[in-house]
Each structure stands twice: as C-alpha cells, then as structure tokens.
Amino acid sequence: MPEVIFNGPAGRIEGRYHPAKVRSAPIGIVLHPHPQFGGTMNNQIVYNCYYQFVNRGFSVLRFNFRGVGRSQGAFDHGVGELSDAAAALDYAQAINPEARTCWIAGFSFGAWIGMQLLMRRPEVEGFISIAPPANLYDFSFLAPCPSSGLIVHGDKDAVVPLTSVQGLVEKLKTQKGIVIEQQVVPGANHFFENAIDPLMEVVGGYLDKRLGKQDAAE
C-alpha cells in the first residue's frame, strides 16, 4: 500500500494507492468524511472500504482532501474538495490507462462529494454511498443520476435521519435505466460504531453481486 503524492488544484495531495495485478482492472476511489470533524483517509470506514475494492482486484486510491494530513490547501466547503476528487480520479486513470471503468465510494461528506463526481464522469460505473447527508447538503444535482449504486445507512443515525435518506432513495428509484439498492444496518449510528463488520458485509455483498453480473454478461 504505497504512499503517493499527486498534484491537486490547491497543491500536493497525499494518498494511499494499491495497484491491481491486472492492467485492465477497474479503478476504485474512496472519499473520506468531513475534514472539519476529524475526517481523514484513515477513517475506519474509508480504510475498510478501500480493502473491499483491493480484495476484488481493483486499483484503489484513497486520499486526504485539501488541508487534511499532508495535503496542501484549506477546507473549501465542498467546492474545492470536488476538484480534489476529480484530480484523484485523473491521477488514478493516468497510471491505469487501460482501466475501462471506475467506482466511487464515499462516507458521509465523502458520499456527497462522490455523488457529484459521478455526475461529471461518465466512466463511473457504480457507486457506494455510506450515510449520505441528505438533510445537510443539497442532492438535487442527481437529476438524473447516471449510475446504479448502493446507498447504505444506519437506522440509529442521529446526524442524518433515515427519513431524509429514504426521500433521496425514493426520488432516485423513479429514474429509468439505473438500479438504486438501499440497505439499512440495524442498530448502527452515523459512524457505524460497533457495526463496521455488518456494514462491510453489505458493501462486499453488493460489489460481488454487481461484479458477478458483469462477468456473466461479458
């Protein structure tokens, strides 16, 4: 899991990158929660998601948004962080020119950034959105949402009530051509304390299902 430093819009960005063994393997990008509330690329959920992709043969990158760890710049309320995520995807694609597809995973604030990124990048084939803060940020840009994906949430989340995520899911489910899967982890709060394992079972199961279908179709 080598450390990497790549250029972003606000200066250097610090990341961790795992190259796949197969040159045409898909790319996975994992985005961390809110920088002003302790979010980093070493967040437990981000770290575990990263390895869900690694274990399925992806080339995977996680990184610190601007102003976090050794990444240069300062918090930019989502605008700059979206640019950082785009720069991370550019970097991953530059070192994996034969990769055909990409997946985006994000937790909380990172889920909001990730959903914006997939709107801009048609090569994003799937997403995993963990506890998307639908009550705190505007998700109306998902009109239409271009990719199928997983939205997973805890039913004891006091930061982002389940009802607000449910509203987002219902809106997305009306769109044709994509499939949005929703999973609720019983007893889990916003940070999935004591619920990382069941969360990762959901994430891994969804990836296996999507990748299996893909393999069967090829």
- Say how far apart CA 87 and CA 13 lie, in whole Å: 9
Q: What is the mean pLDDT of the chain?
A: 95
Residue 143 binned pLDDT confidence (cut-offs 50, 70, 90): confident
pLDDT at 66: 98
CATH number at residue 7: 3.40.50.1820
Parent domain of 74: 3-217
Residue 178 binned pLDDT confidence (cut-offs 50, 70, 90): very high
| Range with the poorest average pLDDT among 70-84, 112-126, 202-216 | 202-216
Predicted structure pTM score:
0.96
**Short-list 86, 168, 84, CA closest to 131:** 168
Strands (E), the chain: 3-8, 11-18, 27-31, 59-63, 102-107, 124-130, 148-154, 180-185
Q: Does residue 39 sit in helix, strand or coil?
A: coil
Count of structural domains within the chain? 1
Instruction: Tell me if the bond preceding 144 is cis, omega within 30° of 0.
Output: yes
pLDDT at 1: 62
Residue 151 binned pLDDT confidence (cut-offs 50, 70, 90): very high
CA-derived radius of gyration, the chain: 16
